[in-house]
Amino acid sequence: KAGVTQTPRYLIKTRGQQVTLSCSPISGHRSVSWYQQTPGQGLQFLFEYFSETQRNKGNFPGRFSGRQFSNSRSEMNVSTLELGDSALYLCASKANRAGRETQYFGPGTRLLVL
């Protein structure tokens, strides 16, 4: 099975711009979660989508939004970029086996805001 894929892998934007990141989960996985990772804050949960519906949301401003399509692929959008949005954005798809959830992470998209 192919793993979680994320595109693009690297991105450079300037303040005020907006960006869209894409994530394709492992085939058959219906849950996709997004995280922001920075050295100072670690992994911060953004949101989780399941069957095209947002199931959970972290404490991020409304500039961060997401959606999930019928094929379980997900996109994350950040509008009006700020310098502090520079981070590694990770997507994870989830499997539930024998009552235990396992997250599989993609390689991430590294975003640099100048």
Tell me: does residue 45 bind another protein (CB under 8 A): yes
Establish if 23 lies at the interface with another protein (CB under 8 A).
Answer: no
Which among 36, 30, 26 has a CA at the least distance from the CA of 104? 26
Q: Within a 10 A sphere around the Cβ of 111, how many other Cβ atoms?
A: 20
Nearer to another protein (CB atom), residue 23 or residue 78: 23
Alpha carbon distances (Å) from 32 to 16, 38, 39, 51: 27, 20, 23, 9
- Per the structure block, which two tokens stand in for 40? 């100072």
**Tokens representing residue 16 in the block:** 């005020």
In the range 72-91, which residues lie near another protein by CB under 8 A?
A: 90
Nearer to another protein, 79 or 86 (CB): 86
Instruction: Work out which of 17, 54, 56, 77 binds another protein, going by CB under 8 A.
Output: 56
Residues that bind another protein (CB under 8 A): 4, 39-45, 56, 90, 92, 100-108
